[in-house]
Amino acid sequence: MELQATLQQIATRYNYKLDEIKPGTFRMDIAVPLKDGKFRYQFVYIWKIQEPSGRERIYMNSRCGTYTPQLNLYNILKEAAYGNYCTVTITTDQNADGVPCETIITQAVPALAMTSPELLNEIIYEVAVNADIIEEKFFGGDKN
């Protein structure tokens, strides 16, 4: 599977915005439907990585919010139970002003060789939806 072409097919099919933000790194803006029929949007960042063994993987993540010691990590971890393909973790990041911070993200890292375009779409959507739910519940709404 050629990642860029597959991402473009997914974006076209579901009317998502897709940008190549640097060579080989993509940002897809996923439309998450709300109960009232409106949409909220969540960025998912996607690129290929290679394991030391040579196996290629598709790495993707979506920001939930900036980590602070006041967060209820127990409840965030409980919310992570809804992930079939993705997980919740904390990563080193930068805020909008370029200041280093720790960020809670959802992420998935499927093996490229074992991922069909249909499965890739499902995983990307799950990463976006789970990040959006955590962002809404624990960080006060749509900020990423």
For residue 144, pLDDT over 90 is answered with no
Q: What pLDDT, on the 0 to 100 scale, is given for residue 83? A: 86
The rounded mean pLDDT for the chain is 93
For residue 143, pLDDT over 80 is answered with no
**Closest listed residue to residue 19, CA positions, set 9, 33, 29, 10:** 29
For residue 105, pLDDT over 90 is answered with yes
Share of the chain above pLDDT 70, in %: 97
Q: What pLDDT, on the 0 to 100 scale, is given for residue 141? A: 67
Q: Does domain 3-139 have CATH number 3.30.1460.10?
A: yes
Q: What is the rounded average pLDDT of the residues 121-140?
A: 94
Confidence (pTM): 0.92
pLDDT tens digit string along 41-91?
999 999 999 999 999 999 999 999 999 999 999 999 998 888 899 999 999
Angle formed by the axes of helices 3-14 and 117-139, nearest 10°: 70
Q: What pLDDT, on the 0 to 100 scale, is given for residue 111? A: 96
Q: What pLDDT, on the 0 to 100 scale, is given for residue 55? A: 93
